[in-house]
């Protein structure tokens, strides 16, 4: 489909009673949180209107003014094809989409998994309903991790979520079943993570790595196992898996980081809660995803053995 024939993405604001009598640039960067770089890009490639008239960013705006940002159509990703892949849509509106990812599916194409990804399925869904949004993933999950994935459908939304992640507004929580009985009811792991010096996706704790922080608390205890609720402060590749394994509590099924595969042949890790602010309305949004049957069955089996 020809991207040039699509309508541009538009977003509209009305200047509030306490927001006027300032420069348009100040309003957009301060009140609407556009970065200086994003604003330059918008001015060069798109259009900024005040009361339907193109204006300079140094123009003064007043309470009640109507501001419209018009973003140009985004280019198609030539490496991403629409493909009928099963997706579970938890929520969708004009600006965002929340999905519940199943195990065994990559979020986006990779060298080893070029097709059959969540992104292929989302694009197929949009083409089927006649929508031409662009995929901007806010969070990503490993192929065998299940749970909630958030994406923005525009450059503006992606910019807002990037800011929210930087400011800690986006909160991601997981359930992880680990080997061993974790002693403390809660804890904080702050250990840098780096890629191994080999052609692999494996990560390890290293002083040369990137700062990484993970919060955890015990959700339920079992003989020989502990169910943890984990919240990420940073979002490094394999962060939860690496941190917990380093503490001596590898995730069940995660053979990559020392987990036992007797009960499960993929990691027991599920992104069950996602909290953020809507990029346009600023409404606080919270979503939960139940454990997949496969993981619930493992918990039931452990409980039966311990009873």
Q: What is the mean pLDDT of residues 205-211?
A: 94
What is the tens place of the pLDDT at every residue in 179-206?
A: 999 999 999 999 999 998 877 789 999 9
What is the tens place of the pLDDT at every residue in 92-130?
A: 999 999 999 999 999 999 888 899 999 999 999 999 999
Q: What is the mean pLDDT of residues 48-52?
A: 96
Average pLDDT of the chain to the nearest whole number: 93
Q: What is 89-306's CATH number, 3.30.2350.10, 1.10.3300.10, 3.10.290.10, 3.40.1410.10?
A: 3.30.2350.10
Q: Is 21 left (phi over 0), alpha (psi -120 to 50) or beta?
A: left
CB 186 within 8 A of CB 217: yes
Nearest to 155 by CA among 172, 169, 137, 136: 136
Q: What is the mean pLDDT of residues 261-267?
A: 95
Alpha-carbon distance of 72 to 9, in angstroms, equals: 7
pLDDT at 5: 44
pLDDT at 238: 96
Residues in the chain: 307
CB 207 within 8 A of CB 194: no
Question: How many Cα atoms occupy the beta-carbon half-sphere of 243 within 13 Å?
Answer: 27
Q: What is the mean pLDDT of residues 28-38?
A: 91
pLDDT at 303: 87
pLDDT band at 7 (very low <50, low <70, confident <90, very high): low
What is the tens place of the pLDDT at every residue in 269-291?
A: 999 999 999 999 999 999 999 99
What is the tens place of the pLDDT at every residue in 58-96?
A: 999 999 999 999 998 887 787 899 999 999 999 999 999
Phi, psi angle pair for 83, to nearest 5°:
-145, 135
Q: What is the mean pLDDT of residues 252-281?
A: 96
Return the C-alpha torsion angle 116, 3, 163, 70, nearest 10. Answer: -160
CB 134 within 8 A of CB 153: yes
- The residues, any chain, with a CB within 8 Å of residue 292's CB and separated by 6 or more, are 102, 103, 146, 270
CB 282 within 8 A of CB 95: no
CB 63 within 8 A of CB 20: yes
Q: What is the mean pLDDT of residues 144-163?
A: 95
pTM, two decimals, is: 0.90
What is the tens place of the pLDDT at every residue in 157-170?
A: 999 999 999 999 99
Spell 63-77 as b/e; 16+ CB within 10 A means b.
eebebebbbbebeee
Alpha-carbon distance of 246 to 257, in angstroms, equals: 9
Alpha-carbon distance of 202 to 204, in angstroms, equals: 7
User: What stretch of H or E contains 243?
Assistant: helix 239-246
pLDDT band at 243 (very low <50, low <70, confident <90, very high): very high
Assigned architecture for domain 3-71: Roll (3.10)
**CA-based end-to-end distance of the chain:** 59
Residue span(s) of the chain under CATH 3.30.2350.10 come to 89-306
Residue span(s) of the chain under CATH 3.10.290.10 come to 3-71
pLDDT at 43: 87
User: What stretch of H or E contains 49?
Assistant: strand 47-50
Catalytic site positions: 142
Alpha-carbon distance of 98 to 90, in angstroms, equals: 5
Burial class (CB in 10 A: 0-12, 13-18, 19+), 268: buried
CB 173 within 8 A of CB 231: yes
pLDDT at 112: 85
């Amino acid at each position: 489909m020809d991207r040039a024939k699509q309508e541009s993405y538009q977003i509209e604001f009305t200047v509030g009673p306490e927001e006027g009598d300032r420069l348009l640039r100040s309003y957009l960067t301060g009140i609407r949180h556009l970065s200086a770089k994003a604003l330059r890009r918008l001015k060069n490639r798109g259009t900024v209107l005040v009361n339907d008239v193109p204006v300079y960013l140094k123009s003064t705006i007043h309470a009640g003014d109507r501001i419209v940002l018009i973003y140009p159509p985004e280019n198609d990703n030539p490496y991403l094809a629409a493909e009928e892949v099963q997706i579970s849509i938890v929520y969708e509106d004009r600006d965002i989409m929340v999905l519940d990812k199943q195990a065994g599916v990559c979020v986006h194409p990779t060298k080893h998994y070029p097709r059959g990804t969540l992104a292929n399925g989302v694009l197929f869904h949009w083409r089927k309903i006649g929508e031409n949004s662009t995929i901007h993933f806010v969070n990503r999950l490993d192929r065998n991790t299940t749970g909630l994935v958030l994406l923005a459908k525009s450059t503006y939304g992606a910019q807002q979520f990037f800011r929210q992640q930087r400011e800690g507004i986006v909160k991601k929580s997981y359930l992880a079943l680990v080997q061993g009985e974790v002693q403390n009811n809660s804890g904080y792991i702050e250990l840098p993570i780096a890629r191994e010096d080999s052609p692999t996706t494996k990560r390890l704790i290293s002083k040369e790595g990137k700062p990484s922080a993970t919060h955890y608390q015990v959700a339920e205890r079992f003989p020989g196992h502990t169910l943890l609720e984990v919240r990420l402060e940073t979002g490094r590749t394999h962060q939860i898996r690496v941190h917990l394994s380093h503490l001596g509590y590898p995730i069940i099924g995660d053979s990559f980081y020392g987990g036992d595969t007797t009960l499960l042949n993929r990691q027991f890790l599920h992104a069950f809660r996602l909290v953020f602010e809507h990029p346009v309305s600023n409404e606080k949004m919270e979503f939960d995803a139940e454990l997949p049957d496969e993981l619930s069955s493992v918990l039931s089996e452990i409980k039966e053995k311990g009873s």
